[in-house]
Amino acid sequence: MGKLYRCDFAIYHSAKFRLDPNTEDRSTCWELFSYVFLKDSKDALTWGFKPFLLDGETCYYLPITPSQVESAYSITNYCECQGDVLECGYDDEKQEFTFDMRGVSKEICNKHGLGHAWERYNISRGIEEMGMVLCIPDSEIPNVWEEHLPIKDFPFKGPEKVWVKKDGVWLR
């Protein structure tokens, strides 16, 4: 099964790390973060990563500036769903795609059986959100991709579109 991410990433020493605002030592505005270091802990320490415990697990972070990374980008996931292109998430446990339908047109909500929820949501001006999530089994979604968008002030090396699932086959 594939993995879908919704966050910012940076490539550093040819490895992919989550990119977060630096909230620890404030020496820079950004930090690289990893729950599990992608190579091994010797590399982490050699590269200047600092270990810390998070829920009993050793994690690593590194305060960083934009010029220190090879590329940085924000990821948004999309898929084809019954002829529509929608932003999506994925529930590994249930093996289904989830779609937050807030902000989606009334026509698309009607097509997917959420017309009444769309009406309630818009009449309440967003206070009532019940029923605004669409869930579709994995087997019904053939194509999924990530859009990689540059992050301001960071270098960016494409591609901008990365397939995660193509013609029903998970690619990672």
pLDDT bucket at 151, cuts 50 / 70 / 90? very high
pLDDT of residue 3: 60
State the Cα–Cα distance between residues 122 and 147, nearest whole angstrom: 28
More confident residue, 161 or 135: 161
pLDDT of residue 28: 80
- What share of residues in the chain are helix, strand, coil (percent, to 5)? 15, 40, 40
Give the DSSP letter string of 99-162.
EE-TTS-HHHHHHTT-HHHHHHHHHTTTS--TT-EEEEEGGG---EEEEEEEPTTS-----SEE
Show Cβ contacts of residue 42 under 8 Å, excluding neighbours closer than 6 positions.
none
pLDDT of residue 40: 56
| 74 pLDDT higher than 90 | yes
What is the average per-residue pLDDT within 78-103? 87
pLDDT of residue 25: 67
> pTM surpassing 0.85?
no
State the Cα–Cα distance between residues 80 and 13, nearest whole angstrom: 34
pLDDT tens across 28-57, in order? 889 998 866 545 556 677 888 888 888 888
